[in-house]
Chain A
Amino acid sequence: MIESADKRRLDGEFTELYRAHLRDVYSYSYYRVGNHHDAEDLTEQTFLQAYRHFERAQRESDGRPLRPWLIRIAHNLAANYYRDRSRKPQTQLEDAAVVSAPHDTETLVAGRQELKDVLVGVSNLPDDRREALIMRFALGMDNREIARALDRSEGATKVLIHRAIKQLEQELEGTGNG
């Protein structure tokens, strides 16, 4: 049985978790589904799921950060999303990065194309490679966190990221951005 004081403490800690990682979950969702509408749904569902299992996750985490657990929930929900809808991520991601930084007109035009090519390249990678890159670069997760989120060893994660970057590099060479 959950005591009232425990419940309040858990709720308070969940609120902290939510505030600390809303942007992470949203960013991950956005780069997975490629549009804001579905990213919002995915984020909402992720936190609902997380709330349901928060007590157990906390108990089993041994004090380790819960961000990989949260991202793993989003990852599983996103996988179901594609399975149910039989569709692939959209590539309309340009508004995320390109709009975020000020540039002069010339570099803006060149930069936009370059970043678009990178995003298209990322979206064309195999699922596990794409997800690892999103976690590393959009969320700033280290190998250990990514390994936990993807349920892999740290060594396997390091190799995965290396191969993802190599593959992207080769694709960009093909587009003239290498």
Chain B
Amino acid sequence: MAEMGDVEALLRSALVPVEPSEALSDRLQRGLSEITDLAVEELADWEISTMRDPRNWGPTVAAVVAGGVAAGGLVVLSARQRRRNRGSGPLRSLEHGMKEVSSDLRGRMRR
């Protein structure tokens, strides 16, 4: 008859941690960077617009341009995610996606 200790040893050998692929790590890291960059740029944009100082119009334009670039990346990422979800479908109903995260952040920034 097996002892609890034996089974625990077997479990320790069987349930080893699984390393994610580098591709997943890279993709997640990139996705998170895109979200945070976008949010920071939008926040900068919002802060500058509240100052209403013509001397800051230059940075405002720069922020909008940078935000546009980040948003472009976001759209690509969302499209990729939608594509994958269409293909595999397992998490479609759970898809909140990058766009929703970014609109969430926008709402919080404006509160």
Contact = CB atoms under 8 A, between A and B. Distances in A.
B91 A169 contact: no
Given A51-B101, A85-B90, A30 B18 contact: yes
B24 A44 contact: yes
B51 interface: no
Interface of B: 1-2, 4, 6-8, 10-21, 24-25, 27-29, 31-32, 35-36, 39-40, 43-44, 47, 81, 84-85, 88-98, 100-101, 104, 108-111
Given A44-B27, A52-B104, A27 B17 contact: yes
Contacts of B92: 84
Contacts of A36: 21
B32 A134 contact: no
**Interface SS majority for chain B:** helix
Interface of A: 1-2, 4, 7-8, 11, 14-15, 18, 22-24, 26-27, 30-31, 33, 36-45, 47-49, 51-52, 55, 77, 80-81, 84-85, 96-97, 100-101, 111, 114-115, 118-119, 122, 133-134, 136-139, 165-166, 168-169, 172-173, 177-178
Contact of A134 (B15, B44, B88): B15
28 contacts: A1-B110, A2-B43, A7-B39, A14-B36, A18-B28, A38-B88, A38-B90, A40-B20, A40-B21, A41-B88, A43-B20, A44-B81, A45-B95, A47-B32, A48-B97, A48-B98, A51-B32, A52-B100, A77-B94, A101-B13, A118-B10, A118-B11, A122-B11, A122-B15, A133-B15, A138-B16, A165-B8, A165-B11
